[in-house]
Structure 1
């Protein structure tokens, strides 16, 4: 009876359960304790962290398709937060995930017999007989013929990036803006989006695409960059950057899973209208740090790494009308300043001493804006 109840519990699969994935899981479990949250992880050592959060871990690797066999029919709702590979212009990980989720779910009746008797029955003249020393167990299907199990329709929410638009010259854009990916990182995201749209068109699943700008939270701020004095651009050369708090992003992902339209794109962006240098200044002021120096774009090309510089060449402002009208999301932090008012100088030491998450350990302004 308990096993039957567990199997009937609503299930959500999180693929790529890092910081935002765990925030989604905690929000789900707080709202609906009976929900079964499952997470795919490629690192067995992370299983303990997931279990401590109330999440059931499944070990599998998107780069190893045969390790994903358990995913077929495992959950009707999937949050796809895993990034593409670090190279190339395609996303084979999303391709492998789609194949795994949409594969016919099969089970062999022999497995059920083995679980009941402890011994596998043998075949004799077209009939099944129990192995010696075992009791008779009735089965419904041929023990060697796979039986198809009805697969629940999958609703998948994909965490994409607003970097797919490339440079828009600071223009205000909505989700109808054509994609113009410049770097390979953004091209991989476009490839993933197209695969998911195609899968939706053929009825294999229903995908919802959430394009995400720079994610921030108390432990996801550019403090290390500010303390190192890494320069920002002068206002005349600076670019507009867009933001979303990690908790608000988790709420948006879950809302898209229940209220998103098929193959529809939504910007997960708050109401902030701010250039990158101004963002650094706001954070520095909130934590009592010295503001970073400002330099020209020409000087930045000489001083900064190509990855960091690439974010300083893309400027756009995101409209979030769909987020409010279609998903009806009420943001906890409508503006970066709303969040910064909740922190202060006394928090800087606690942020520094907090254990770094895998993503937080990589903190630079460029990486913080990786989804910008």
Structure 2
């Protein structure tokens, strides 16, 4: 089997590292293959972005069996579908995975939700995500290809986590009453994708998240306690210096269940809460 990945970012790289032994060929896109750290051993890199695409991509897709889309929407649409939808439909690709976000559910005021909960996004970014999800699922129905959507919560892992922010002096302990977030370790995302390869289901939508929706300041406090690093002062959300995107995350509050990946795919999370995840990162010198 051959794998093609649109968007070799943090999550997709970990999946490729874990899954590469399953594939005869792995090809993946980045916006700039010459950028330091863009490549990955054993992966044939392709350019895909606003400045143009590698001419080999269409031929690559014709030889692809498994397709992972980790590239975000551009504006209100999906660049992959716009440029390569016809090539994908005509290909032999059997399994397609689209990485989305739990942001498509919108604000649930702290209530518990699962995959049966109706998505009601409010931000333009999440509205675009939901539209792209639906477009990929429609492609699956129209072409008899097995498309799965994976809605990810806040992703962390080696090099991208609260410990790194504390060490860099970039951590903030923002307080907003009642606010909670779910998280997911990048290794548990890879495990879920691998499980879906073994148990594909056309039209499936999965919440890929941990078991512990938690206030963000509590996670920061735990990271500081594990490492002995100084705890940043509390900052009220209303006066916090946040980017518009970061502030928008605090506008949504929900507790997300992951029962479907466990019951249908047989996934056992290596890091069911942030506690196990951060403890493992502290033990890893490359956290």
How high is the TM-score relative to the length of structure 2? 0.87
SS at match of 2:96: strand
Where does residue 80 of structure 2 map in the other structure? 93
SS at match of 2:62: coil
User: Which of the numbers 266, 273, 280 marks the counterpart of 1:335?
Assistant: 273
Where does residue 325 of structure 1 map in the other structure? 263
User: Which of the numbers 120, 123, 132 marks the counterpart of 1:192?
Assistant: 132
User: Which of the numbers 251, 255, 258 marks the counterpart of 2:195?
Assistant: 255
User: Which of the numbers 236, 244, 253 marks the counterpart of 1:306?
Assistant: 244
**Could you tell me whether the CA contact under 8 Å between 1:72 and 1:100 is conserved in 2?**
yes
Where does residue 281 of structure 1 map in the other structure? 221
Shift of 1:163: 0.6
RMSD: 2.6
SS at match of 1:326: helix
Alignment gaps of 5+ in structure 1 = 1-9, 104-150, 352-372
Cα deviation code 1:255-285 (max 9, x no counterpart): 2233132111101112123111211211222
Superposition pairs for residues 1-372 of structure 1, below 5 Å? 10-30=1-21, 32=22, 35-45=24-34, 50=39, 53-61=41-49, 64=52, 67=55, 68-85=57-74, 88-103=75-90, 151-203=91-143, 205-223=145-163, 225-226=165-166, 227-228=169-170, 230-234=172-176, 237-300=177-240, 303-344=241-282, 347=285, 351=287
Decide which structure has the larger Cα Rg and report it: 1
Cα deviation code 1:309-353 (max 9, x no counterpart): 111121111111101011111222122111222344995xx65xx
Shift of 1:219: 0.9
SS at match of 1:332: coil
Separation in 2, partners of 1:48, 1:230: 28
Shift of 1:152: 1.6
